[in-house]
Structure 1
């Protein structure tokens, strides 16, 4: 017995190192054949002979000088269990080494020969199947893992799969839940699917076809049986939960293979053909972590991100169109929206105990952290947004799109208001996205991109049917009250990262988010919709002022020369009363007998940024310092001088404006203390424009959120340019640089007097 264990251990060590084996392959098969009965190993010498496998006269394995491995010593390996675990481990490592490209050719050929003999001579798949129901969970798991790798080896080597094993799986899956071995079949099938998707060989699609063909119809039968269960008929919920979790993993792999390998088996489409079955699980009386897994799974399906870790990244952006997949995605999106219509969000619980390692119970000594489950909030939000985007891609009616958008976004915002603390502010509901997704960059950008796609689709439809200013005004108002205005969403995103251009640069370089696609589409929109963006910036400046009060109250105070305690309305209220405000301003101009452009809001109404905020500032350190020390001294010096000039020019501009205003009005009436918000320069007429009614002077410098946004763009463009010049940027950013530069030009043009005089945005060290 000692010699038997020594040989197994030495064999394990040599295979672990990928060493070549010297003996005849049949000699090694003898020691790997699973022929033990459940008895002490002292009698194993009588049970080692199996049909077709001869006992070797002697096997001598040269001792390998390696560090000790984590194996139990001979004194501890006194039972059948340890011997079988060691055999299964050796088989598993041998298959892994055979399929590895790093294994030396002659060693790989020897391993392959041993495995083929083992498959032919010992009926090993049947023996492993019998071990599935072993009470020892480790032994059962190792048997399933070993069998899956043997099956994958047969697929790779174009060896016909065992009919007995196929029949075993078909019987247990088709007779669920009466049969209790379905879980082991699912586990084995899942491992095989993972190996296929991880493989880099060119025959991956053909291998998958060979594997799925015997199970194509059986999976559909099992799908129907699993999701049609009634809890009142089951006393053991754990069996259902285990089956749900295990099948969910396999279902994700099937859909991933559908997306990445362009196959169209029925078992790969079963979710899209019957999506309500999976959606119903969310309302089942099961643990919260099960519902969470299903919601995340559906979200990943809608985003085409299923199996992305196994398939070496997400789906390429330039893949050829798949009409069949588009039809299936539309069916899934319609099912999600129908479930929301039926009250999915109203019944979804996001409170309760936080989950730890897939469970719901808080361990002793851990404190319960109050608050909602943001994982579910994010997933539920993306379900609705992405489903709307998919549906609108196939919708021709602008009116139908508006009705659906208002209905479902209202449902979503109502759902979020119940759980977010503090609750969303009614004056700008677009804040919801940055609040919900602040801890998950990739999902936040997916949501922003989807909402931008919805906005662009609706805009094109509305432009074709609407031309009146009033209709456009109502359309912009609609985007605000339903929380999908693209400019608000982008500004809230910039506020979340404190206008740090290096964070945007990290997003652009990283392949983990869709930021590049989203950013390019937004910059193109910004060029066409600058007036709307500029107006939104002014609303942000008003609502962010610490001491701000109703703008129209301040204007009225100039007219009536008295104070009143008005409550500040939100930006949407400002928009709806724009015409009244304009009349008040005109009346104030007449009453004061001074030019309109000299009327300045009081500090309480419109404070300005601190002086130091005119220079590039950071509330937190940058993620990466891309202005590294390897820059040339001349370039670094020039950049610092340019930044210094820009800061001083802005400070000088503000001082000139303040001095000019101070000479026209007394300090008693108007405050000339340093202001923290810009006075709004005159802009072109827009549906929601506040124009010069709120401006102090036509030469006023915009140093609020609009300035900070464009300044962030300028810093980003400079960083990209420097990286490109050193060939350090991962792709060609020429088109992106042009877009950024064009936005800066539009901003400078809106400040034409200062721009022409060279005060704002002087020539920097990059073009």
Structure 2
């Protein structure tokens, strides 16, 4: 046994280095062919290796046949396990070397010959699957990893999958059972598909098609069997938990291959055809982390982000259209809403032990702040808001949409209310979104985009119906009451980032969120709904100055106590009082010469509203200084190189931006002559300069939020212009700058009308 292990160790070291093997291939095969399990626990093939002089000569060892009586049975079994583990490790490293481009051609050829001879053995796969039943979990796990790599090797080399492996899968997946083989079978399937996704040099679609074809029908059978289980009838719930987790990962990979590779197998639609099975798991009396995984999985499906960790490359070109995908998404959204209507949110346990690194318990004596599970809060919220968006885009009845929105948003806000500060509801229901998603930028922007989609859909329906003014006012009140008004959501977002234009620039450059698409849609809405925006800004100022003010009550005065035109006139009158101040040549120059995000207002002239809970703190120094001086060129170059690789989704968003805004007309006009003077004048460095203006004492109160918002747009436009001028912006910002210029023109036009 000792000699046998030493020979294997020498072979392992050679393969690990990628060294060429010089001697008889068959001799290596007999060392690597596992003999587990055996009656006496010893590698039966070791005696045959004694007749392989070529291998002995290279390894400078002379392995001898093992005698079961030479050592104690327990010790012999342990040594046999060590031998089997080493054999599996050598095979894994050998296959990895074959797949690596760094391995020398000569060595790779010898490794390939050895592995192919191993696979010719009809019982080789059976030996590995038998190890799944071992009491040694490490051995079972190594056998599953080794088998997955060998299956992938078969697919790459166009070797037909063995009948023993297909039979093993069909037998274990025909119905759910509590044996360990089911878990390892699911693990192996998942590992093979992951290897296919990671390969950048092969035809992924063809390889995956070859792998899924014999198992397609089996997945649906197992899906129905697994999710029809009743926990009360199971002896060991930990086994079904493992099966659920591995099968959920397998489902995600199947759906990801549908989106990214264009495959169309029935097994890829199982979840969408029967989503209630998966949603039902959330109601089971099962560990919280399992429910969390399922909710996040459904959220990824609705956002079409399944498999995003593995599918980072561009979507395959000329991919055949998936005619069922939109319908499947609608069916999933309907199933989610139906589950929420049946009380799904009430079954979620948001309170629990805090998460710890590695899943351990909090040590005694360690302070831990109690609080809800924000992962569940975010996922459940986005799940509902995205489902409403998908459903409404396929719904034609404004009345039906309004009823559904009232119903489900009330359900969501009632679910969130115990876990958020009570003042959120006393101030403004629309604040729920920024509070829930404050720690997750990508989900926050997805939720904001979905809520805007709901708002725009309802707006179009009301405009098409030519609703009366009073009904529109009630609808505007409805948008605030149910927390989906896009102006409020955007203003809360700006307040959270302290009106920092560099944060907006970071979002625009990054491809990790949908901010570009969301921002463009909001700017287009802002151009059409400028008067309402100013009214809401005034209500925000009132809310900041008096926390007890209820914004919903304020909004109801849109058509009674004051009109949007009156608000606009009062705001622009305050802004117009500065028109005699020194003007800048351009927004770009102003953004370069001013401290970012600071609005200088004289405290000696205007009574500053008392700081409230909603008042934004002063922004900290930005991580990236987007200065326009020549010294910043190196920093800007590094910034561009760090963000130059945009994903296909980001590129698609850029194209949507161009299409939404329109690129027709004289492009020289957009390239990019900034305005001769800004919407807002440059404040003097002397704080008392504002005291000489003729604005009334309540100017700050009237113009605070709107002033800072347009000021932020001004600085953002200047920063984009400077980066584009140096060819450092990662994509063409022409359409975006066109929108910002149109907003500027709207402000100037309103000021000139005074």
Structure 1 partner of 2:593: none
Structure 1 partner of 2:239: 239
Contact preservation (8 Å) 1:11, 1:61: no
Give the 3-state SS of the residue equivalent to 1:49 in structure 2: helix
Residues 657 and 628 (structure 1), Cα distance of their counterparts in 2 relative to 1, 3 Å cut: closer
1:703-722 equivalent positions in 2, closer than 5 A: 704-722=704-722
Tell me which of 51, 55, 60 is aligned to 2:52.
Answer: 55
Q: Which piece of structure 1 moves more, 230-239 or 512-521?
A: 230-239
State the shift of 1:741 in Å: 2.2
How far apart in 1 are the matches of 2:746 and 2:238? Answer: 62
State the shift of 1:501 in Å: 1.3
1:2-17 equivalent positions in 2, closer than 5 A: 3-17=3-17
Residues 500 and 77 (structure 1), Cα distance of their counterparts in 2 relative to 1, 3 Å cut: farther
How far apart in 1 are the matches of 2:514 and 2:543? Answer: 30
Give the 3-state SS of the residue equivalent to 2:425 in structure 1: coil
1:30 corresponds to 2:30: yes
C-alpha deviations, 1:101-138, integer Å up to 9, x for none? 33333333332222111111473211111101111111
TM-score (norm 1): 0.79
1:435-446 equivalent positions in 2, closer than 5 A: 435-446=435-446
> For the pair shown, which has the larger CA radius of gyration, 1 or 2?
1
How far apart in 2 are the matches of 1:54 and 1:261? Answer: 49
How far apart in 2 are the matches of 1:90 and 1:507? Answer: 47
1:575 corresponds to 2:575: no
Residues 430 and 356 (structure 1), Cα distance of their counterparts in 2 relative to 1, 3 Å cut: same
C-alpha deviations, 1:607-641, integer Å up to 9, x for none? 44799xxxx995212132232774479xx9xx9xx
1:67-82 equivalent positions in 2, closer than 5 A: 79-82=79-82
Residues 315 and 397 (structure 1), Cα distance of their counterparts in 2 relative to 1, 3 Å cut: farther
Structure 2 partner of 1:648: 684
Residues 90 and 392 (structure 1), Cα distance of their counterparts in 2 relative to 1, 3 Å cut: same
Gaps of 5+ in 1: 64-74, 550-567, 587-596, 662-671, 681-701, 755-767
Residues 582 and 306 (structure 1), Cα distance of their counterparts in 2 relative to 1, 3 Å cut: closer
1:520 corresponds to 2:520: yes
Contact preservation (8 Å) 2:24, 2:54: no
Contact preservation (8 Å) 1:186, 1:246: yes
1:143 corresponds to 2:146: no
C-alpha deviations, 1:208-258, integer Å up to 9, x for none? 111111211111111111111112212321122121112111111111112
Residues 311 and 46 (structure 1), Cα distance of their counterparts in 2 relative to 1, 3 Å cut: closer
State the shift of 1:509 in Å: 1.3
Contact preservation (8 Å) 2:256, 2:307: yes
1:217 corresponds to 2:217: yes
Structure 2 partner of 1:339: 339
Structure 2 partner of 1:764: none
How far apart in 1 are the matches of 2:328 and 2:53? Answer: 58
Structure 1 partner of 2:544: 544
Contact preservation (8 Å) 2:131, 2:139: yes
State the shift of 1:180 in Å: 4.8
Structure 2 partner of 1:678: 700
Residues 91 and 391 (structure 1), Cα distance of their counterparts in 2 relative to 1, 3 Å cut: same
Contact preservation (8 Å) 1:30, 1:56: no
Contact preservation (8 Å) 1:39, 1:79: no
Structure 2 partner of 1:208: 208
Structure 1 partner of 2:284: 284
1:134-213 equivalent positions in 2, closer than 5 A: 134-177=134-177, 180-213=180-213
How far apart in 1 are the matches of 2:194 and 2:488? Answer: 42
State the shift of 1:493 in Å: 0.7
How far apart in 2 are the matches of 1:610 and 1:431? Answer: 20
How far apart in 2 are the matches of 1:725 and 1:77? Answer: 72
State the shift of 1:283 in Å: 0.8
How far apart in 2 are the matches of 1:316 and 1:405? Answer: 37
Residues 220 and 80 (structure 1), Cα distance of their counterparts in 2 relative to 1, 3 Å cut: same
Greater RCO (CA < 8 Å, at least 6 residues apart): 2
Gaps of 5+ in 2: 61-74, 567-575, 578-602, 637-673
C-alpha deviations, 1:678-716, integer Å up to 9, x for none? 253xxxxxxxxxxxxxxxxxxxxx3x1111111111211
Structure 2 partner of 1:687: none
Number of residue pairs the alignment of both structures matches? 656
How far apart in 1 are the matches of 2:165 and 2:365? Answer: 47
Give the 3-state SS of the residue equivalent to 2:48 in structure 1: coil
State the shift of 1:533 in Å: 1.2
Contact preservation (8 Å) 2:609, 2:701: no
Residues 218 and 366 (structure 1), Cα distance of their counterparts in 2 relative to 1, 3 Å cut: farther
Contact preservation (8 Å) 2:442, 2:512: yes
Residues 645 and 751 (structure 1), Cα distance of their counterparts in 2 relative to 1, 3 Å cut: closer
TM-score (norm 2): 0.80
State the shift of 1:749 in Å: 3.0
Residues 170 and 149 (structure 1), Cα distance of their counterparts in 2 relative to 1, 3 Å cut: same
Q: Which piece of structure 1 moves more, 175-184 or 286-295?
A: 175-184
Residues 505 and 752 (structure 1), Cα distance of their counterparts in 2 relative to 1, 3 Å cut: same
Q: Which piece of structure 1 moves more, 292-301 or 312-321?
A: 312-321
Q: Which piece of structure 1 moves more, 732-741 or 366-375?
A: 366-375
Structure 2 partner of 1:621: 621
Give the 3-state SS of the residue equivalent to 2:282 in structure 1: helix
State the shift of 1:494 in Å: 0.9
How far apart in 2 are the matches of 1:383 and 1:632? Answer: 42
Residues 386 and 124 (structure 1), Cα distance of their counterparts in 2 relative to 1, 3 Å cut: same
CA RMSD of aligned residues (A): 3.5
How far apart in 2 are the matches of 1:316 and 1:718? Answer: 37
How far apart in 1 are the matches of 2:466 and 2:123? Answer: 74
Contact preservation (8 Å) 2:8, 2:87: yes
